[in-house]
Amino acid sequence: GTKTNVETSIEEAGQEMPANIVLHQNYPNPFNPTTQISFKLPQSARVTLEVFDMAGRKMSTLMNGLQSAGTYTMNFDASRLASGVYMYRLQAGNFLQTRKMTLIK
């Protein structure tokens, strides 16, 4: 009777962040001139929250750095921007999501 010890280890490759990061739709939307963008982090991560125009030009960086787990609400002031549709993008670990928002002046 030989005993065999089998070690099993399950590694999730590339899963830096669980999937339950939530990027909410901005409120109010449409907005003038300020709106709030909120998101939820289940664990700490390096977070970048940026606003782009539809041509892909970066208009603003609302957050850039290491953040601990929690819910964040950022104020975005678009008073210097023209009316139109903009995109905001949240990057946290491997998570990337973009949503649209509309500025009406």
Q: pLDDT tens for residues 44-76? A: 999 999 999 999 999 999 999 999 999 999 999
C-alpha to C-alpha distance for 6 and 46, rounded to whole angstroms: 37
Give the pLDDT confidence score for residue 65 in this predicted structure. 97
pLDDT in tens, 18-37: 558 999 999 999 999 999 99
- Whether the Cβ atoms of residue 103 and residue 33 lie closer than 8 Å to each other: yes
* Residue 20: per-residue pLDDT: 85
